[in-house]
Structure 1
């Protein structure tokens, strides 16, 4: 039988030596930095002759530059631009008419109190004027007028905010949204800018442009805008005072255009050349009054007119009526009594017999 070994409890000194050996042989906690990142950082530090403090400052500069670009893109940074750096006609403007009195009033306010609200611009890389005007056309025109009057350098520059038009739904949408908020557009101006946006390829057609440019408008309002877009498409080159068209008159004109009245309207406008908005409205109304009313289109809804047919009263009390409709005849069986299914089946068989008989 094997002799058992006796176990001895290690001394405190022996335990301490064992713990120190265990610590030396066991790796510490894993670093939070990925090995490849740590190697890249060490390599960059080897090839970067700058001291650690300089490298840290450069990293802060890069972070601050990125934050500045982000703030600038979100419109949180004010720019001070030369007027000649801004192209006011980079976009076709939705606002057709600028009231001279309002412009003079704005010009006077800026000369007294400065420009309280900056304009909005978007970048045009590679262009002679690197910034395009997005919103603030009247403000820009007022400051330009002040520069031309004073010529002392006070109005050579203007405060502006840079925008990313695509982040705002596109340049046309951003411009329309700004004008809808600050100064309501007429239906004709809305329809006009929708057509122009479609013609310039921003949208596949005017219908889609209206939906995209006026997304919060009601269905009825968008329908009205489409009517005025049609007026711009067919008579925009002939009308001299289209922005004064009243809603009721514009909708009547659009319906006439849908019914084929473009040619006589263009002829009337070319022959008479109205000299005022009232003159033009009266000419259009007179022309529309003289046009013959078009034949109703059954596809546009409503109950078509029916031609009365023969009618007979049976001795049993049933009333037989025949009605002519666009697609054929309808025979109705009525009266004080209600026909049952068996009687109707028999009537159908009798009709078939009559129709099957040779001529």
Structure 2
């Protein structure tokens, strides 16, 4: 174990499997380190003389950096020096350590596979999952594949996705796999919901229909059911299942009151009394 100056460590050298840090948990860790010191060293590998890349210990390094900024008591951090043969091996070591400590959110477990694949460390998502989670078999590997696919489909659209439970993530993944990914993306993009709770409420009608579609025995017709239409620029129409029936949502700058009048006229023509 060695002591390394904080300024010599690059925590962004590898794709991280942690999207965001919980401020409350980080504050608790800072308090513990201030009272008792750092009990578990971080892991690094040397990238150049006197320069290091972080493998594991992202949260511990962040806590030490915050304490150093507050009082100047922690200019260095204890670290184990590792020698991974390749960058993919270093990323796999990071994931293995965090997976063992059960600190990573379900969303982030999928996202790191996508990030590593996109960084060119692995040729495919399946190869990334095999390398990052070598002991995952059966149902667990299936869940990890679903989480990775979800992160690929909805990256950048969900508010604080790391706060989603595994059940929520897998339900979203199932809906995407059932053909609702475009509808979910559109609903999120066109909504003003900015919190995880508001977004989850927004998606309930879509998830309800997705759940029911898994048991739907209606004969398949090409192009049906039509859940999303973009008949012209500036107009999107979404069909959603609601507890009391069905809803058509018209969004975009072309969705005006005058258009709604035309729609109602057409509905009346089709279904009104003779």
The TM-score normalised by the length of structure 1 is 0.55
Query: 1:188: Cα distance to partner?
Result: 1.6
Contact 1:268 1:287 in 2 (8 A): no
The residue that corresponds to 1:317 in the other structure is none
Counterpart of 2:114 (choices 195, 204, 217) is 195
**Whose radius of gyration is greater, 1 or 2?**
1
Matched residue pairs, number?
Answer: 217
1:270 and 2:215 matched: no
2: distance between equivalents of 1:204 and 1:216? 20
Distance 1:168 1:237 in 2: 25
Measure, in 2, the Cα distance between the counterparts of 1:249 and 1:182: 22
Measured against aligned partners, the alpha-carbon deviations of 1:172-202 in whole angstroms (never above 9, x if no partner) come to: 1111111112233232211110111111122
CA contact (8 A) 2:158 2:196 kept: no
Instruction: Structure 2 unaligned segments of length 5 or more: list them.
Output: 220-274
The CA RMSD measured in Å over matched residues stands at: 2.5
Distance 1:229 1:296 in 2: 29
In structure 2, relative to structure 1, the CA distance for the partners of 1:253 and 1:117 (3 Å cut) is: closer
1:207 aligns with 2:126: yes
1:98 aligned residue: 21
- Could you list the runs of 5+ residues in structure 1 that have no partner in the other structure? 1-77, 299-359
d(CA) in 2 for partners of 1:121, 1:287 = 44
Determine if contact 1:187/1:228 at 8 Å carries over to the other structure: yes
Structure 1 Cα separation of the partners of residues 178 and 83 of structure 2:
43
Assess, with a 3 A threshold, how the Cα gap between structure 1 residues 160 and 248 changes in structure 2: closer, same or farther.
Answer: closer
SS of the residue corresponding to residue 53 of structure 2 reads strand
- Asked if 2 retains the 8 angstrom alpha-carbon contact of 1:118 and 1:158, the reply is yes
Counterpart residue number, 1:121: 44
Alignment of 1:169-248 (within 5 A): 170-248=89-167
| Structure 2 match to 1:320 | none
Q: In the alignment, does 2:44 pair up with 1:131?
A: no
Q: Does the Cα contact within 8 Å between 1:168 and 1:174 map onto a contact in 2?
A: no
3-state secondary structure, aligned to 1:174: helix
Q: Is the 8 Å Cα contact of residues 228 and 251 (structure 1) preserved in structure 2?
A: yes
Structure number with the higher strand fraction is 2
User: After the TM superposition, which residues 1-359 of structure 1 pair with which residues of structure 2 at under 5 Å, given as runs?
Assistant: 78-125=1-48, 130-151=51-72, 154-166=73-85, 170-290=89-209, 293=213
Q: How many angstroms does 1:220 deviate by?
A: 0.4
Larger relative contact order (C-alpha < 8 A, sep ≥ 6)?
2
Q: Shift of residue 255 of structure 1?
A: 2.7
Cα-to-partner distance string for 1:306-349 (whole Å, 9 max, x where unaligned)? xxxxxxxxxxxxxxxxxxxxxxxxxxxxxxxxxxxxxxxxxxxx
Q: How far 1:115 moved relative to its partner? A: 1.9
Q: CA deviation at 1:232?
A: 0.8
